[in-house]
Amino acid sequence: MKTTPFSDLTALMRTGDIEAARVRIDREHPADIGSMINDLDPKEGWAVLELLTLDRQAETFGYLDHDVQVGLATVAPRAKLAAIVVQMNADERADLYNELADDQREALMPALVQAEREDIRKLAAYEEGTAGAIMTSDYATLTPDLTATEALTKLRREAPDKETIYRAYVVDDERKLIGSVRLQDIITAPARATVVDVMQTNTLAVNVDDDQEDVARKIGRYDVLALPVLDAEGRIVGIVTHDDALDVLEEETTDDFHRVGTVTNLSGRVGEATIWMLYRARIVWLVLLVFGNIFSGAGIAYFEDTITAYVSLVFFLPLLIDSGGNAGSQSATLMVRALATGDVRLSDWGSMIGRELMVALGLGLTMAFAVSFIGVYRGGPEIAMVVASSMILIVVVGSIIGMSLPFVLSRFNLDPATASAPLVTSIADASGVLIYFTIATTFLPFPG
């Protein structure tokens, strides 16, 4: 990916050659200018933003981190800020509004016209994580009786304002969705044809309360540019576009990644997170897992006599319990991702347990074979037998636990990603200790 060093730009600005700086920045994409401003303090950032035309200011503003937007809002002259806000996409504008402090909202709102104020309040009111919260009100509608020519004129007039006019939504008198039409079908239609002749009636749609991840996956599954969002009465209230879907999927994937790694509630960019934020995100599970490990400790205490008689058993303890945990983590990882992408469904558990058992048996046998050599070398043939047979059982049990935990959590409406590797490891550890020392106590001759 291209890295954009803006050092020449900052140099130009420091010398006060604003015109040259303006020419320089005109070559850059708003996404890159946004990245640059994210790294500046608000005053410098505002100076860079002022180099741009209003259109590009609004577009760049949409690419900024929320805290940077708020920072700029505090240093920018009110009238100029209002002008930018008016130009922004409706959904980004509503997100900004949600981030602002009460007094900043109050200061900004009078500068906006009535229609925009209402639009912002409406969009900002939807609950986070729903289709409503990520949708935009910049979409084009048509009525069924318009001719192709009239429809094209209407779209042409509205084009600069609308986020996408490539598909227009056909609504009845009550704004209920009755179909949709692609711009290319309007263009290629005979001039006298009406919208109802060229529209598609089985338009996919989502509800305003639908989960944002489901909406994003639907856009991906059906390869559409946007999906219309309907209220409870079937009226269109917004659209979710493909670029927002991609952002949502990236964000949800990061959440899943973190949850699998027992990092909780760390929103925003890791590079920018404070020590306190990282500490909070990590400590909960670490301490929980400490207490989870008490079971392993208790198991060991219970077998104290066996351990005292055969201290060499301890050599294999980390090896065996880690192997069970590792096999379990693998199974859990596969299931967590498969459940997230919809590749595997909750009802598939029964049909997959048999396959998992066979795979785990194969893995266990191979690993038992590998470990038996170390066993003979370090503890003699008897210890090797105990270690090898423990290995098979520990890997099978660990795999079954790892595979099942995501299903169990899903069943109780918890996020399967929480069946994270370390949680599986802790449970597998305790089972591993029990299996290992039970086999050892049963099969090794007791001295004295």
Q: Which of residues 344-373 bind a second copy (CB under 8 A)?
A: 344, 348, 352, 355, 358-359, 362-363, 366-367, 370-371
Q: Which of 114, 308, 413, 442 binds a second copy (CB under 8 A)?
A: 308
Q: Does 187 bind a second copy (CB under 8 A)?
A: yes
Q: Which residue has the tokens 């306190």?
A: 276
Q: Which of 266, 376, 439, 444 binds a second copy (CB under 8 A)?
A: 266
DSSP string, 295-325: HHHHHHHHTHHHHHH-GGGGGGHHHHHHHHH
Q: Does 307 bind a second copy (CB under 8 A)?
A: yes
Q: Which of 56, 151, 422, 434 binds a second copy (CB under 8 A)?
A: 422
Over the window 70 to 109, marking each residue x when it contacts a second copy by CB under 8 A and - when it does not, the resulting string is: ----------------------------------------
Terminal-residue alpha carbon distance, the chain:
70
| SS3 assignment, position 122 | helix
Stretch that binds a second copy, among 103-111, 113-121, 289-297, 404-412 (CB under 8 A): 289-297
Q: C-alpha distances in angstroms, 366 versus 107, 158, 303, 315, 361?
A: 70, 67, 28, 20, 9
Q: Does 294 bind a second copy (CB under 8 A)?
A: yes
Over the window 8 to 27, marking each residue x when it contacts a second copy by CB under 8 A and - when it does not, the resulting string is: -------------------x
| SS3 assignment, position 170 | strand
Q: Does 321 bind a second copy (CB under 8 A)?
A: yes
Q: Is-contact 396 364, C-beta < 8 A?
A: yes
Q: Does 192 bind a second copy (CB under 8 A)?
A: no
- Nearest CB to a second copy, comparing residues 101 and 159: 159
Q: Is-contact 134 248, C-beta < 8 A?
A: yes
Of 209, 189, 207, which Cα lies nearest the Cα of 199? 189
Beta partners for residue 164, in sequence order = 139
- Nearest CB to a second copy, comparing residues 14 and 27: 27
Min dist CB 109 to a second copy, Å, is 28
Q: Which residue has the tokens 């590749």?
A: 343
DSSP category for residue 130: B
DSSP string, 38-75: HTS-HHHHHHHHTTS-HHHHHHHHHHS-HHHHHHHHHH
- Nearest CB to a second copy, comparing residues 112 and 152: 152
Residues 128-167 close enough to bind a second copy by CB under 8 A: 152, 155-156, 159-160, 165-166
How big is the site for a second copy, counted in residues (CB under 8 A)? 113
Distance of CA 199 to the CA centre of its chain: 34
Min dist CB 111 to a second copy, Å, is 27
Min dist CB 275 to a second copy, Å, is 5
